[in-house]
């Protein structure tokens, strides 16, 4: 085991653990586990900030040994999505999130996972956790607990994205008349992702949310046009991240360009249009950005290769188990 790994992982002599509800007497030990996880994340990758403050005890579980020593903690949180929630593209209608998760070994996570799934709410189709991507030790432990990488939240430092615009292609802001063509490109991209990833599905709510932003101006969109045909589209917006003391944050405070959807028609893929669209979005977002961010699927062979190649590195990984 690496010298900086937390104790307890992969130890054949690890104690037998049982899971019970967290009590007030457990809180100092749980707080120590959370602090150790936050310190580790900060040392591995400073932008990945885990919470240090202990959250609500409602429903919280601890894994303890025979002496009562706490080796792991989680507060399962039920996440339910309405029929019109656009997040249904990437999440089941009912799932369980691991909140305030921390452990000193894989055994604690395995025990907690079994308890979460055994007592989970009826109809829950998944459970999962968002964890710093750089934490390779915890990655092994999450895998042992039955989770697998589903998607990555990636960050690129501020700066332009150079690259030539393909010949005879114009990159420009979208116009109202482009709405149906942009929507069709986006839908094709979702269908492709759903075909390669078990964590993506094409749902009516996704189409409705995307259309609403296009029509109402809730986001900005750039398109690639050639000969009167739209070959690609990039929907994006600027988001502001504030410091929330004691609470997890995907990014450090600052302004970021968020690329929500970059879609290129199948015949035009590989021509540099996606790169040109992303570059146009970053340029339009302004010069005072702290960086740019996006999500990409672990199972999408194109996204998994292209975005890291262009400078977006995973900061967080969404680990999931689908029923």
Which string of DSSP letters, residue by residue, matches 29-55? Answer: HHHHHHHHHHHHHHHH-TT-B---S--
Is 133:157 a contact under the CB 8 Å cutoff?
no
CATH number at residue 307: 3.40.630.30
Q: Provide the whole-model pTM.
A: 0.92
Residue 171 sits in the same domain as residue 299: yes
Give the residue from 146, 177, 212 where a domain finishes: 146
In a domain, 112, yes or no: yes
Alpha-carbon Rg for the chain in angstroms: 22
On whether both 162 and 264 belong to a single domain, the answer is: yes
Are the C-beta atoms of 133 and 45 separated by less than 8 Å? yes
Please check whether residues 245 and 114 belong to one and the same domain.
no
What average pLDDT does this structure show over 144-168? 95
- Residue pair 182/215 in contact (Cβ under 8 Å)? The answer is no
Task: Read off the pLDDT of each residue in 241-267 and give the average, rounded to a whole number.
Answer: 87
pLDDT digits (tens, 9 = 90+) for 181-211: 999 999 999 999 999 999 999 999 988 999 9
Residue 7 domain-assigned?
Answer: no
CA distance 117 to 44: 30
Residue 126 phi/psi, 5-degree rounding, is: -165, 160
Long-range interactions of 75-80: CB distance < 8 A, separation 24+? 75/22, 75/99, 75/100, 76/116, 76/120, 76/127, 78/121, 78/124
Residues constituting the chain: 323
120 plus 180 within the same structural domain? no
Write the CA distances from 87 to 82, 93, 201, 259, 302, integer angstroms.
9, 9, 10, 16, 22
Q: Is 34 contained in some domain?
A: yes
Closest CA to 298 of 198, 150, 195: 150
The residues pairing with 194 across neighbouring beta strands, listed in sequence order, are: none
User: Is 13 a member of any domain?
Assistant: no
> Is 71 in contact with 105 (CB distance < 8 Å)?
yes
Residues 94 and 171 in one domain: no
- Predicted confidence (pLDDT) per residue in 267-320, tens digit: 999 999 999 999 999 999 998 999 999 999 999 999 999 999 999 999 999 999
Identify whether 4 is part of a domain: no
Same domain, residue pair 140 and 169? no
* 196 assigned to some structural domain: yes
Give the end of a domain, one of 146, 164, 185: 146
Q: Give the span between the Cα atoms of 198 and 45, in whole angstroms.
A: 28
In a domain, 228, yes or no: yes
Are residues 184 and 278 both part of a single domain?
Answer: yes
Same domain? 78 vs 169: no
Q: Same domain, yes or no, for 108 and 196?
A: no
Q: Does residue 181 share a domain with residue 124?
A: no
Per cent of the chain over pLDDT 70 is 94
Do 72 and 89 fall within a single domain? Answer: yes
In the chain, the number of structural domains is: 2
* Structural domain span for residue 160: 155-322
- Let me know whether 22 and 119 are in one domain: yes
Domain final position from 91, 118, 146: 146
Residue 208, helix vs strand vs coil: helix
Q: What is the mean pLDDT of the chain?
A: 92
Instruction: Return the pLDDT at 243.
Output: 78
- Whether 9 is covered by a domain: the verdict is no
Of residues 95, 87, 99, the one with CA closest to residue 131: 99
């Amino acid at each position: 085991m690496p010298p900086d790994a937390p104790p307890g992982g992969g130890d054949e002599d690890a104690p037998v653990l049982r899971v019970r509800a967290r009590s007030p007497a457990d809180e100092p030990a749980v707080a120590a586990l959370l602090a150790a996880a936050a310190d580790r994340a900060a040392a591995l990758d400073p932008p990945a900030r885990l919470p240090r403050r202990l959250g609500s005890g409602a429903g919280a579980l601890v894994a303890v040994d025979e002496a009562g020593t706490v080796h792991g903690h989680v507060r399962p949180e039920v996440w339910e999505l309405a029929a019109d929630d656009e997040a249904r593209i990437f999440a089941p209608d009912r799932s369980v999130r691991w909140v305030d998760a921390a452990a000193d070994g894989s055994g604690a996570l395995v025990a907690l996972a079994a308890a979460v799934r055994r007592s989970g709410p009826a109809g829950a189709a998944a459970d999962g956790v968002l964890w710093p991507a750089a934490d390779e030790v915890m990655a092994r432990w999450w895998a042992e607990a039955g989770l697998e990488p589903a998607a990555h939240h990636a960050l690129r430092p501020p700066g332009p994205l150079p690259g030539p615009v393909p010949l005879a292609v114009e990159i420009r802001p979208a116009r109202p008349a482009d709405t149906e063509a942009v929507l069709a490109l986006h839908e094709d991209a979702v269908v492709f992702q759903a075909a390669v990833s078990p964590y993506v599905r094409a749902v009516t709510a996704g189409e409705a949310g995307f259309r609403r932003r296009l029509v109402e101006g809730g986001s900005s969109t750039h398109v690639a046009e050639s000969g009167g045909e739209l070959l690609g589209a990039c929907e994006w917006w600027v988001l502001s991240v504030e410091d929330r003391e004691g609470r997890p944050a995907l990014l450090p405070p600052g302004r970021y360009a968020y690329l929500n959807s970059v879609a290129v028609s199948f015949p035009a893929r590989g021509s540099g249009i996606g790169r040109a669209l992303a570059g146009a979005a970053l340029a339009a977002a302004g010069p005072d950005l702290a960086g740019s961010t996006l999500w990409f699927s672990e199972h999408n062979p194109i996204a998994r290769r292209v975005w890291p190649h262009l400078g977006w590195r995973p900061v967080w990984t969404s680990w999931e188990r689908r029923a």
